[in-house]
Amino acid sequence: MEPDPDRRRGAWRPRVTDVALIVLCALVGLYAAALRLAVPGAVPPALVYADMAIGLLGCLGLWWRRRHPLHVATVLIVLSTFSEVASIAALAAVFTVASRCPTRTAAATALASLLALGLYFVLRPEPAVPLWALVVLLVTVHAAVVGWGMLVRSRHELIESLRERAAAAEIEAALRSERAQHEARETLAREMHDALGHRLSLLSVHAGALAYHRGASAEEAARAADVIRENAHRALQDLREVIGVLRAPVGEVPLPDVGDIGELVGETVRAGTPVELHDEHGVTTGGRPVPATAGRTLYRFVQESLTNARRHAPGAPVVVRITGAPGDRIEAEVENGAPTGPAPAAPAGSGAGLRGLAERATLVGGALEHGPTGSGGWRVGMRLPWPP
């Protein structure tokens, strides 16, 4: 696999900059040395040529300025005490230290460079330039170099900070996405449990009744078979709807609401379980609008309660009561009487349904309670907030 061209350009760009800086420092230093040679008798030519040779070697040291900024700067500052050409490269090294090292290190390096240049001009005084002007010039140049380097360092630190924040934001987004997927899987599991548990409990009850009552009449057997066939068909429909949630965009798959409770009770009655629905305030008929989340929670509460009643107390009468008012709360309870006969063979419940109902109630700010009644039956109650 070939390397990314952009990445290759990004790797070579610093080295191109280093080469350009080496060439620039060498040219400026050689130009300054040439000016000294142009003045007869000012400096011995042999000394100027030695300055050039040492300075050019110092300029080549800038190649390692990124990897060892402080070491390169130290060597060049020492060389600048007797090499004018090396002093130009030393300024570049001071800039590198300021852009890559702490402020104290940069200030100490700049001060050392000033002292080295001061020693150089003591050894080779400039009679044409006043001392105060030379001092001001050197201090100004070093301050500008250090300030520029610190500005570059601050920019790099800001970019790195932004990258770290972006990486942290990506990690946080990935965690949120993972949590959302986990919640979606839990929601789907609850929907499958509630939707299919209701249908399959009907199948289990009637199939168990057929197995238990061997002497049932042909009419009773046919009625039970019709219930089994109808609910098996509806179970497949419910399964398709639940699986459709995974494929369809959010909001396109219709979910049961409080208005479907009447139909749910009717199905249970047709399946052979006597159920009475008491809705004094028209909650299930749309007389008072209920929030979608609360309505769906209420529907699942009634569905799961009827499923448990059929499973654990087949044939026992069931009463569903729903009361409440906007601005207060919705109170619902499902109470079944004691079993009227022996229950068909069926596996014992694991309690996942009641735990799921309790979780649903908690998510919308409500509560669930359940327990036996004095007459040998069972009661499940739920309270949900009802905003005005």
pLDDT tens-place string over residues 323-345: 888 888 889 999 998 876 554 44
Write out pLDDT tens, residues 74-98: 888 888 887 778 888 888 888 888 8
Range of lowest pLDDT (33-37, 187-191, 378-382): 187-191
- Going by pLDDT thresholds of 50, 70 and 90, the confidence category of residue 57 is confident
DSSP designation for 380 = E
Beta bridge partners of 369: 381
pLDDT reported for residue 342:
55
Q: Determine the Cα–Cα distance for residues 211 and 136; give it in Å rounded to an integer.
A: 109
Examine the pLDDT at 380 and tell me if it is beyond 90: yes
Residues 6+ apart with CB under 8 A from 171: none
Q: Determine the Cα–Cα distance for residues 93 and 110; give it in Å rounded to an integer.
A: 10
Q: Determine the Cα–Cα distance for residues 286 and 363; give it in Å rounded to an integer.
A: 23
251: left (phi over 0), alpha (psi -120 to 50) or beta: left
CA-CA-CA-CA torsion sign (336, 337, 341, 343): positive
Q: Of all helices (H) and strands (E), which one includes residue 370?
A: strand 367-372
pLDDT reported for residue 253:
47
Write out pLDDT tens, residues 313-322: 877 899 999 9
Q: At what angle do helices 69-79 and 103-123 cross, to 10 degrees?
A: 20
Cβ pair 315, 341 in contact under 8 A: yes
Q: Which domains does the chain have, with CATH numbers?
A: 5-128 (no CATH), 257-341+348-388 (3.30.565.10)
Q: In what order do the strands lie in the sheet with 329-336?
A: 275-279, 318-324, 329-336, 378-385, 367-372
Write out pLDDT tens, residues 222-238: 776 776 776 676 666 66
pLDDT reported for residue 213:
65
Q: Determine the Cα–Cα distance for residues 259 and 282; give it in Å rounded to an integer.
A: 10
